[in-house]
Structure 1
Amino acid sequence: MEDPLLLSGNEKIITGNLKPTPPTWRINFTAELKNVSRMAAPMATVTVAQFLLPVISVMVAGHSSELQLSGVALATSFANVTGFSIIYGLVGALETLCGQAYGAKQYAKLGTYTYSAIVSTVPICLLISILWIYMDKLLISIGQDPEISKVAGSYAVWLIPALLSQAVQQPLTRFLQTQSLVLPLLYCSVATLLFHVPVCLTLVYTFGLGSNGAALAISLSYWFNVLILGLYVRFSTSCKKTRGFVSDDFVSGAKQFFQYGIPSAAMTCIEWSLFELLILSSGLLPNPKLETSVLSICLTTGSLHYVIPMGVGAALSTRVSNELGAANPEVARLAVFAGICLWFLEAIICSTLLFTCRNIFGYAFSNSKEVVDYVTELAPLLCLSFMVDGFSAMLGGVARGSGWQHIGAWANVVAFYLTGAPVGLFLGFWCHMNGKGLWIGVVVGSTMQGIILAIVTACMSWNEQVAKARKRIVVGTFGNGLA
């Protein structure tokens, strides 16, 4: 008989204690799936905890009256599309720059990139704040209900401190995320959520501030999160190598930040704005209070789910950017496949749960049976949104980690504004499907976005991405301008 020890790979047979050796690709994929999962689970929790802050405020204000719910929903939509999405998108540049710099062991650049991002985004927040002060007049001028617009305008003014906090919180979050320091982010986010709930209830009900109290609670909670994140970055030994700042490199670092931040912001804002356009358009439908309330509930629920695959996308962005910076293209490729597996599992679970609870989950936002019944009718479409939105969020992480945000931005233009928006407006207004028609347009746009991003990812040359990362981070220097 042939000695089994002389056999190799899959040719080994079970003889005594010997077992077949799994293929190398299976071993590597399993290891990468574990790596992505270890990051994805905490990051998904972080994104959910951060998103729950405004959701809780909407829920608390919404139980006061239908007018309060509509006003807060409209203000939240307007604030997202004109403010929070811009800041979140700009800071997405750090997922490319900090992630690849960390993978290339260029630790000194992480702090400079992060501080450059903070200083660069604060003036933008101040400009956006001026717009928010006049939100009520602007909403009325575009045909929104005056009562709803007044509530929305007042709510937005109290949200201005929250916007300013994001100029600090988001860069610090990316700074830690790209170093795989996800547990500190998890603890800080959970602590902030626990802080927010009693503060929100106290300001709204005990002090009787209504919807304004809900907005103030968001601002206080965001700044609380900034405080504890800042203390960790300043005093933790984990950030000792990366929190430094080279003042001579600030201007060049800011240029690189905007080079990738502007297309990253465009990529985020184009997608986010279509969802917020949904709420603004619902205010022009018959029975605007009902349509706005129902679609805001669907949008809030869809967004709450969306942040879970966003967490997977953030983990995937970190893994891809780190491995590209470290010149490991095959590991980056395996990370993408691992992310797809996690997306599919998460989408199936969440869609099944929502469909099972479709008759009752509307009561979490409103006591009106008319609102709850309408939400139940839209639940199957919402389940479909869970599937396609999660896929796009996961591939968006690949785009940010690789540094091709500009391609993602153009993909979103085609998907949402040349496809999704026309379909939604046609079905909603011309076919008189109202809110249901608008949401179908969103699903169509998200599906097209996922298809385009999947094609781009499948055709990507990972060796070429490694070369670009090396030119961007290792070969180039701040002093020589953009690499």
Structure 2
Amino acid sequence: MEEPFLPRDEELVPSKTTWQKGQLTVELKILSLLAAPMAIVTIAEYLLPVISVIVAGHNGELQLSGVALATSFTNVSGFSILYGLVGALETLCGQAFGAKRYEIIGTYTYSAIASNIPICFLISILWIYIEKLLVSLGQDPDISRVAGSYAFWLIPGLFGQAIVIPLTRYLQTQALVLPLLYTAVATLLFHVPVCWTMVSVFGLGSNGAALAISVSFWFYALILACYVRFSTSCEKTRGLISEDFVSCVKQFFQYGIPSAAMVCLEWWLFELLVLWSGLLPNPKLETSVLSICTRVSNNLGAGNPQVARLSVFSGLCLWLVESIFFTTLLFTCKNIIGCAFSNSKEVVDYVADLAPLLCLSFILDGFTAILNGVARGSGWQHIGAWNNVVAYYLIGAPVGVYLAFYRHFNGKGLWSGVVVGSAVQAIVLSIVISSMNWKEQAEKARKRILSSEKGLS
């Protein structure tokens, strides 16, 4: 049996010698070649629902509020769960590829898809009753009606994402980023005319915008599936080891559940802002504005944490450059961001007023994205999950609720709580990463791969 690859100590932690040899420069080049295409992929994926929100927003404040509320609720109850669970592949496929155990990567991916499908059926049942649930939670009935209808037509897209997300991680862990770039951009270009046709030509309104997302997600899934099936680049890794399928499913949930907790706990707080904003005075305005801020923050701060584990130092350098550029751009354009989502001057002015907090949030999100990538790549998602509980729910959320409802800062108060939570998360992750024993982490990865091989024999 071929010995799994074990990184040498000097490859794990840059020493003074490697710094002098320009190792950081080399690592920056490698990371940039991976991160730049994936940044475009991430933006293209996020723009799919954003375009639908923009189209719906120009049909009136009620449509914008309803779609924003539906987007938040479906993210909280559905898409975030899928994204979180598939974080297990970043550990399993990533370390298997590094150890040159190519034959099991496809099995891990197919087990993730098979595990996602029944979960989607359960989520779909919840989405069918979203309108009633939102009303029972105190949301405006008119906004809830639009949200419920929008969520219903997103159900097909949920199943499409159950295929897209694992295939994306499958390609990412093999550094096949250019195919992802081409397919993501193609899907975005496909989505724009489809969305316009559904909304304007067929007159389906916000329901057409949701249906367009579902169609585009399946278009994306089809392209990725065809590439994986027929590309020679995936020849070694696309196979299925049927006798080990059940054990791969078990491993998927072993790492997927804490990964989902880690991702969802952070994601949920951002989306809960929109739900809470519906309980503030003038709910249509507050919901509209905070939904715009959430979308913008997500788009700019998404980054590419999957490759951050290649080099923490290089990732942080790229984060610094990216933060300076996009924060400057965001603050400069603060008076026109809201115009993309709404024709209401009140909404546009409120978004501009929240821009400084949004910039600070973006800086912190980019920093924690890098460190969270290290956590998932190293297989200690449970630490990240507990950190999110403390940072966001024991500290950030109470601060936000207090400022919004008791100090009457409304949307600003809620978003301030997010900033506080992000700051706490960044501090804790920094302490953990700085004290990490990289040799010990490499040994754990080695044992993990060896245990997988025992299951194959």
Q: Cα deviations across residues 398-423 of structure 1 (Å, max 9, x unaligned)?
A: 11111110100000001000110000
User: In the alignment, which of 215, 222, 238 is matched to residue 217 of structure 2?
Assistant: 222
Provide the rounded CA distance (Å) in 2 between the counterparts of 1:97 and 1:213. 38
Aligned to 1:436: 412
Alignment of 1:127-142 (within 5 A): 127-142=122-137
Are 2:18 and 1:24 equivalent residues in the alignment? yes
Alignment of 1:193-208 (within 5 A): 193-208=188-203
Provide the rounded CA distance (Å) in 2 between the counterparts of 1:295 and 1:466. 42
Q: Cα deviations across residues 49-98 of structure 1 (Å, max 9, x unaligned)?
A: 00100000000011001000000000000000000000000000000000
* One-letter amino acid of the structure 2 residue matched with residue 394 of structure 1: I
Are 2:378 and 1:414 equivalent residues in the alignment? no
* One-letter amino acid of the structure 2 residue matched with residue 439 of structure 1: W
Give 1 or 2 for the bigger CA radius of gyration.
1
- Helix, strand or coil: the match of 1:241? coil
User: In the alignment, which of 235, 248, 252 is matched to residue 247 of structure 2?
Assistant: 252
Q: Cα deviations across residues 4-24 of structure 1 (Å, max 9, x unaligned)?
A: xxxxxxxxxxxxxxxxxx953
* One-letter amino acid of the structure 2 residue matched with residue 460 of structure 1: M
Q: Does the 8 Å contact 1:104/1:474 carry over to 2?
A: no
Q: Cα deviations across residues 190-228 of structure 1 (Å, max 9, x unaligned)?
A: 000000000000100110000000000000001000001
Are 2:313 and 1:315 equivalent residues in the alignment? no
Aligned to 2:380: 404
User: In the alignment, which of 81, 84, 99 is matched to residue 89 of structure 1?
Assistant: 84
* One-letter amino acid of the structure 2 residue matched with residue 298 of structure 1: C
Residue 474 to residue 358, structure 1, CA distance change in 2 (3 Å) = same
Alignment of 1:8-157 (within 5 A): 24-26=18-20, 27-157=22-152
Segments ≥4 residues shifted beyond 2 Å? 474-481
- Helix, strand or coil: the match of 2:55? helix
* One-letter amino acid of the structure 2 residue matched with residue 210 of structure 1: G
* One-letter amino acid of the structure 2 residue matched with residue 52 of structure 1: L
Q: Cα deviations across residues 130-163 of structure 1 (Å, max 9, x unaligned)?
A: 0000000000001000000000000000000111
Q: Does the 8 Å contact 1:43/1:315 carry over to 2?
A: no
Provide the rounded CA distance (Å) in 1 between the counterparts of 2:125 and 2:454. 34
Provide the rounded CA distance (Å) in 1 between the counterparts of 2:170 and 2:212. 26
Q: How much has 1:466 moved relative to structure 2?
A: 0.6
Q: Does the 8 Å contact 1:271/1:416 carry over to 2?
A: yes
Q: How much has 1:479 moved relative to structure 2?
A: 2.3
Aligned to 1:369: 345
Q: Cα deviations across residues 308-347 of structure 1 (Å, max 9, x unaligned)?
A: x2x2x12224x3xxxxxxxxxxxxxxx1100000001101
Aligned to 1:329: none
- Helix, strand or coil: the match of 1:477? helix
CA RMSD of aligned residues (A): 1.2
Are 2:326 and 1:350 equivalent residues in the alignment? yes
* One-letter amino acid of the structure 2 residue matched with residue 449 of structure 1: Q
TM-score (norm 2): 0.95
Instruction: Identify unmatched segments of 5+ residues in structure 2.
Output: 1-15
Provide the rounded CA distance (Å) in 2 between the counterparts of 1:299 and 1:146. 23
User: In the alignment, which of 171, 174, 183 is matched to residue 169 of structure 2?
Assistant: 174
Instruction: Identify unmatched segments of 5+ residues in structure 1.
Output: 1-21, 320-334
Provide the rounded CA distance (Å) in 2 between the counterparts of 1:475 and 1:416. 35
Q: Does the 8 Å contact 1:156/1:215 carry over to 2?
A: yes
Q: How much has 1:242 moved relative to structure 2?
A: 0.3
Aligned to 2:230: 235
Provide the rounded CA distance (Å) in 2 between the counterparts of 1:34 and 1:271. 30
Provide the rounded CA distance (Å) in 1 between the counterparts of 2:121 and 2:429. 34
* One-letter amino acid of the structure 2 residue matched with residue 392 of structure 1: T
* One-letter amino acid of the structure 1 residue matched with residue 259 of structure 2: S
Q: Does the 8 Å contact 1:106/1:474 carry over to 2?
A: no
- Helix, strand or coil: the match of 2:153? helix
- Helix, strand or coil: the match of 1:202? helix
Q: Does the 8 Å contact 1:249/1:478 carry over to 2?
A: no
Q: How much has 1:475 moved relative to structure 2?
A: 4.7
Provide the rounded CA distance (Å) in 1 between the counterparts of 2:101 and 2:451. 11
Aligned to 1:161: 156
- Helix, strand or coil: the match of 1:359? coil
Provide the rounded CA distance (Å) in 1 between the counterparts of 2:19 and 2:356. 38
Q: Does the 8 Å contact 1:252/1:478 carry over to 2?
A: no
Provide the rounded CA distance (Å) in 1 between the counterparts of 2:333 and 2:210. 29
Provide the rounded CA distance (Å) in 1 between the counterparts of 2:428 and 2:94. 24
User: In the alignment, which of 412, 429, 443 is matched to residue 453 of structure 1?
Assistant: 429
Q: How much has 1:476 moved relative to structure 2?
A: 4.2
Q: Does the 8 Å contact 1:253/1:478 carry over to 2?
A: no
User: In the alignment, which of 460, 464, 469 is matched to residue 440 of structure 2?
Assistant: 464
Aligned to 2:11: none
Q: How much has 1:477 moved relative to structure 2?
A: 2.9
Provide the rounded CA distance (Å) in 2 between the counterparts of 1:24 and 1:381. 39
Q: Does the 8 Å contact 1:46/1:186 carry over to 2?
A: yes
Provide the rounded CA distance (Å) in 1 between the counterparts of 2:335 and 2:42. 27
Q: Cα deviations across residues 421-449 of structure 1 (Å, max 9, x unaligned)?
A: 00000000000010110000011111111
Provide the rounded CA distance (Å) in 2 between the counterparts of 1:92 and 1:136. 30
How many residue pairs align between the two structures? 441
Provide the rounded CA distance (Å) in 2 between the counterparts of 1:287 and 1:264. 37
Aligned to 1:384: 360
Q: How much has 1:306 moved relative to structure 2?
A: 1.7
Aligned to 1:261: 256
